[in-house]
Structure 1
Amino acid sequence: MPRQDFDPATVKPDGRPAARATLFDPAAEVPWRGSIDGIAIGGPVTVLAYGTDTPGVGPRLHVHPYDETFIVVQGNARFFVGDMTLDASAGEVVLGPAGVPHRFENLGPGRLQTIDIHHSPRWIQTDLE
C-alpha cells in the first residue's frame, strides 16, 4: 500500500534550490571523516562522517544544544549518553538528546563508521573532557 501521510497541495516549495556537497571520499582506504554544515547547502541539519579502525577510540565527551542522531554504518559502537550505555551495530540508530553529554567508541573488531546528524544548520559543540 503506498504511503499518503499528507496532502502535497498543502506544502508550498520555499524556493531553495537542490544542493550538493562532498562529505567524504568513498574511494579512500581510510575511515570516512568529514562534515557539512546545513547552512552551507541551505538545509536544517549538519551531517558528519566519523570513522576509526582502533577499538576503544571515539570522540571525547561533549554536549550540544540540539539533538544528535547517530547511524552506525559499519562495525560496533558503545555509546555513553548521560547515565546510559548503549551498544549499537551496523544498521542501528542512537539518539543523543539536546543538553545530554555523550560520546562513543569503537567496540571492534574492525572499523567503526558512523553518520552523525546534528539537528542544527551549524555544528555547535562544547567538549567536556
Structure 2
Amino acid sequence: MARRDFDPATVKPDGRAPSKGVLVKAGNEGPWRGSLEGLALGGPITVLAYGTDEVGKGPRLHVHPYDETFVVIAGHARFHVGETTIDAAAGEVVFGPAAIPHRFENLGPGRLQTIDIHHSPTWIQTDL
C-alpha cells in the first residue's frame, strides 16, 4: 500500500547536510557498545547501543530530563519505569517518559541487545 501522509511540496529543507557517525565501535568491551549524540549528526536525538549476555544485568536506576524510547533488538528484557514493570522481547519497543526513574535487565536466556533513543541532542543522565 502506498502512503501519502503529506504533500512533499509543503515541506522545505532546513539546510542541514546529510551526515553519518559511528554508534558501535569494533572491539568495544562491556555492555555499552557505543553512543552517538545528535549534536554530532545535527539531529535532535541521541542513540545508545547496549548489550549483555549476563542474565539479570542491565543499567542501574537512572533518570533523564527528556523521554527515552527503547528498541529491543535481541533477547528479553524487564523494564522498570517508575512503578510500572514491562517485559519486552526482540522487536518490541518500550517508552520511558521524561523525569520518571527507570532501568532494565536481561531476562535471558541469551543475549539482550537494545538501541536506546534519547529524545535530546545530548545524553543527560542522573544515576540514582
Q: TM-score range by the shorter chain?
A: over 0.9
Report 1:1-129 matches (<5 A): 1-25=1-25, 33-128=33-128
1:61 and 1:50 map into 2 onto residues whose CA distance is 15
1:106-127 residue CA offsets vs partner (Å, 9 max, x unmatched): 0011110000000000001111
Deviation string, structure 1 residues 49-92 (Cα, Å, up to 9, x no partner): 00011001000000111110000000000000000000000000
SS in structure 2 at match of 1:9: helix
TM-aligned CA distance change 1:31 to 1:62, over 3 Å:
closer
- Whether the aligned pair in 2 keeps the contact of 1:52 and 1:113 (CA below 8 Å) is yes
How high is the sequence identity, in percent, across the aligned residues?
73
Q: Is the 8 A contact 1:31 1:111 kept in 2?
A: no
Counterpart-to-counterpart distance in 2, 1:60 and 1:28: 20
Q: Say how many residue pairs are matched.
A: 128
**Root-mean-square deviation (Å):** 1.7
Task: Specify the SS of the correspondent of 1:99.
Answer: coil
Q: Is the 8 A contact 1:46 1:118 kept in 2?
A: yes
Report the secondary structure of 1:40's partner residue. Answer: helix
3-state SS of 1:60 partner:
coil
Whether the aligned pair in 2 keeps the contact of 1:81 and 1:100 (CA below 8 Å) is: yes
Alignment gaps of 5+ in structure 1: none
Residues 32 and 113, structure 1, Cα contact 8 Å, conserved in 2? no
Task: Name the CA distance, whole Å, in 2 between partners of 1:96 and 1:26.
Answer: 29
SS for the counterpart of 2:2 is coil
CA contact (8 A) 2:71 2:114 kept: yes
8 Å CA contact 1:58, 1:105 repeated in 2: yes
Runs of 4+ in 1 over 2 A off after TM superposition: 25-32
* Pair 1:55–1:26, CA change in 2 (3 A): same
DSSP-derived class of the 2:9 partner: helix
Q: Conserved in 1, the CA contact under 8 Å of 2:25 and 2:34?
A: no
Distance (whole Å) between structure 2 residues aligned to residue 62 and residue 27 of structure 1 = 27
